[in-house]
Amino acid sequence: MMLALRRACIFRALVFMAFLPPPQCAQDPAMVHYIYQRFQVLEVGCDNMLMGIKSLKIVKKTMDTDGSWMKDAVSDSAKVYVFIGSRNNTVWEFANIRAFMEDSIKPAPRKLILTHSWQGTGQVIYKGFLFFHSQGTLNEIIKYNLQKRIVEDRMLLFGGAGRALAYQHSPSTYIDLAVDEHGLWAIHSGPGIHGHLVLTKIEPDTLGVEHSWDTPCRSQDAEASFLLCGVLYVVYSSGGQGAHRITCVYDPLGTIIEENLPNLFFPRRPRSHSMIHYNPRDKQLYAWNDGNQIIYKLQTKRKQPLQ
Ligand SMILES: *[C@@H]1O[C@H](CO)[C@@H](O)[C@H](O)[C@H]1NC(C)=O
């Protein structure tokens, strides 16, 4: 029923677009809706919003304060990838999560040495390709073919990317990448000191920029962010300690109203997170905190349909 209504709405929008020029202001909800339709950013069928963090599981404890870890966000692969530190040309590939958790379980991890080094904790694995901020560059994102061990493609991200840290409490991440049900995104700080975050939708096959949004979410006191169903959730902690809490949520479509949001607290952790990434395949968060690799399970509910 709701799907049918939405189809009708999209149909009407398309008819409307055929006869009228698009609205002019990019932050205007009508314009954003137009962009979503035009570039098919929004898939029908993803309408969950975050209601809370249900549980925390420490998967492994290491000594490394900084790093990131993940599974492929799209492909049906059991492999776990680990990036230790804040810049390197090495990636560790584990056969599955059990092999990652217990060192005694065979096979031993594979050490992949890349032709280029990554920087920060913003890496993602999307359909067997590794996307990362190339070390020593201001704003270059490399799409790396892990099978062939070659650079598949590269792009430059504009709008101030690379000039300042994305999050004040994550000292090496200038460009954070994210994957959700809608695809690939980049998050970075906009122009200015402690600026606001800029969200960019990237087409993973061509590395073209679909659209970019200036969000109201600040870099100051932020430690990480992630996207879920097309909505950006930014995690803050005062001074990098104390409670980790999502206090800024940005929905380019404007369907989520801040007043409807519950208190989104994370369980107390000793430090700020080095990274928090959502995996749309298993619908949980992969995080790194004080050397611990953590999975957060989520509680979600359906968004209100767009009027
Ligand atoms: C890169 O990673 C390797 C293997 O994990 C480590 O031995 C080396 O110290 C790292 N290099 C830097 C610059 O962190």
Task: For 128-174, write each residue's pLDDT tens digit.
Answer: 999 999 999 999 999 999 999 999 999 999 988 999 999 999 999 99
* Distance from C-alpha of 205 to C-alpha of 217, rounded to nearest angstrom: 28
- Structural fold of domain 47-302: Tachylectin-2; Chain A (2.115.10)
Q: Give the Å distances, CA to CA, from 225 to 74, 97, 169, 198, 283.
A: 19, 23, 12, 12, 15
Higher-pLDDT residue of 150, 48: 150
For the CA of 92, the closest atom of ligand 1 is 5
HSE value, Cβ hemisphere, 13 Å, CA-based, for 176: 36
For the CA of 89, the closest atom of ligand 1 is 1
* Distance from C-alpha of 281 to C-alpha of 100, rounded to nearest angstrom: 19
* Distance from C-alpha of 295 to C-alpha of 38, rounded to nearest angstrom: 35
pLDDT of the residue at 14: 37
Q: Closest Cα partner for 197 from 230, 242, 235, 229?
A: 235
Report how far ligand 1's centroid is from the alpha carbon of 88 (Å): 6
Over 60: is that where the pLDDT of 180 sits? yes
Residues with CB under 6 A from ligand 1: 84-85, 88, 90
- What is the distance between the terminal CA atoms of the chain, rounded to a whole angstrom? 15
The best mutation among 66, 81, 88, 119 to test binding of ligand 1, ranked by most ligand atoms within 8 Å of the C-beta, falls on 88
Query: Where along the chain do its domains lie?
Result: 47-302
Alpha helix (H) ranges present in the chain? 2-19, 29-39, 97-101
Query: How much is the mean pLDDT over the chain?
Result: 86
pLDDT of the residue at 68: 98
Over 60: is that where the pLDDT of 32 sits? no
pLDDT of the residue at 40: 52
Closest C-alpha to ligand 1, atom 11: 88
Closest C-alpha to ligand 1, atom 1: 88
Instruction: Assess contact for 288 and 69: CB atoms under 8 A.
Output: yes
pLDDT of the residue at 26: 47
For the CA of 85, the closest atom of ligand 1 is 14
For the CA of 88, the closest atom of ligand 1 is 1
Mean local confidence (pLDDT), 36-59:
76
Over 90: is that where the pLDDT of 185 sits? yes
Over 80: is that where the pLDDT of 305 sits? no
Q: Are strands 245-250 and 264-265 parallel, antiparallel or unpaired?
A: antiparallel
Closest C-alpha to ligand 1, atom 3: 90
pLDDT of the residue at 45: 64
| pLDDT class of 181 with cuts at 50, 70, 90 | very high
* Distance from C-alpha of 144 to C-alpha of 147, rounded to nearest angstrom: 9
The best mutation among 63, 69, 81, 90 to test binding of ligand 1, ranked by most ligand atoms within 8 Å of the C-beta, falls on 90
Q: Compute φ and ψ for 76, nearest 5 degrees.
A: -85, 75
